[in-house]
Amino acid sequence: MPEDPGCRVQRDTQQERPAVSVALSRAGVTNLRRIISIKDGGKAELFYATLDLFADLSPEQSGVHMSRFSEVVEDLAGGLTRRPFADIESLAKRMAEEVVATQEALRAEVHIKAQSPIMKQTPVTHRPTEQLYTLVGIAAATRTRTRLLVGVEVNGLTVCPCAQDMVRGRSLDRLCENGYSEEEGERILSLLPIASHNQRGKGTLLIGSERRLGAEDLVDIVERSMSSEIYELLKRPDELYVVDKAHRNPRFVEDVVREMLRRVSETYPDLSDDSFVLARQENFEGIHEHNAFAERYGTMAEIRPELAGEAFATRHTALGEWLAG
């Protein structure tokens, strides 16, 4: 088809030298939304996803070719219904490698987040309920190698240990004021869940490794690290179970992050020393305007000695640093 004279490009402005010759670490597109297809137990499943694609930019080049990012997504995502990828990180890997080629870049990154369901049963009434979590795939590619991460974002429930301890102390004082001995008061309180303020929180777990990891296993690690998992559907016996469980298992955001790291180490003892882990917890506080936040990242070589009670690492490898290799 002949080119439309009205749309003829006189020059490739992206390839021209910019007014300020400084290299850019990343340039690209964010929040590109697509339906993608990933294999789940051998069966193709559709997921709603958002994608961020980036390439580095030399100081001699004015800009990246924006349409080429969309072409990479369209070419790969369009064929997914026929040949779905095995997992989200494999799709991110292929896209990152295509960006390196099409943008003639030295390095590219692709971040994919997809909404994914897990069918669960409520803890007491055993009613089926669908829980949504966010599946994360990240890939960083150069012309010679690619690094991958897989992860999840999961909602759960936490209970504040500090407030609970204060409530417990006040309750013991009141029992003693009403004729109970301190020993009797302690015994009574040991039988009861103690009130505290609680909050819904979001846990994030990312693992970079050559080993393939199951998303449902990562979800389980994050949920078990909080005071309690949560459910979309709760009948009254289920609600009682969740509230009681959470208040018998109070945890700060810091506790949740450390628990995630411990469970990763125990669940995957064969992760190599250069494997990367990021554990993050953010609580949407119930009695404050602000959120509470904690995070730890680093390689297993940095984290394992601390879990064993040895000297802590003064240097923590960051995500961008690990992706850069």
Asked if 306 contacts 126 with a C-beta cutoff of 8 angstroms, the reply is: no
pTM: 0.88
191 vs 42, higher pLDDT = 191
Q: One fold for both 24-113 and 145-160+197-325?
A: yes
The string of pLDDT tens digits covering residues 72-87 is 777 776 655 556 788 8
pLDDT of 1 reads: 41
pLDDT of 149 reads: 96
CATH topology of domain 24-113: Urate Oxidase (3.10.270)
Q: Which of 13-17, 66-70, 287-291, 306-310 has the lowest mean pLDDT?
A: 13-17
- pLDDT confidence tier of residue 146, bands split at 50, 70 and 90: very high
For the structural domain made of 145-160+197-325, what CATH number should be given? 3.10.270.10
pLDDT of 17 reads: 66
pLDDT of 39 reads: 77
Domain ranges of the chain: 24-113, 145-160+197-325, 162-194
Nearby residues of 175 by Cβ (< 8 Å), 6 or more positions away: 184, 185, 188, 189
Residue 158 has pLDDT above 60, yes or no: yes
- pLDDT confidence tier of residue 7, bands split at 50, 70 and 90: low
Burial profile 56-68: b = 16 or more Cβ within 10 angstroms, e = fewer: bbeeebeebbeeb
Mean pLDDT taken over the chain: 88
pLDDT of 52 reads: 94
Residue 202 has pLDDT above 70, yes or no: yes
Query: What is the rounded CA–CA span in Å between residue 112 and residue 203?
Result: 17
Burial profile 202-229: b = 16 or more Cβ within 10 angstroms, e = fewer: bbbbbbbbeeebebeebbbbbbbbbbbb
Which pairs with CB-CB distance under 8 Å and at least 24 residues apart come from 164-171? 164/194, 164/195, 164/196, 164/247, 164/250, 167/194, 167/195, 167/196, 168/194
Q: Report the sign of the C-alpha dihedral through residues 99, 105, 106, 112, in that order.
A: negative
Nearby residues of 104 by Cβ (< 8 Å), 6 or more positions away: none
285 vs 108, higher pLDDT = 108
108 vs 69, higher pLDDT = 108
The string of pLDDT tens digits covering residues 234-253 is 999 999 999 999 999 999 99
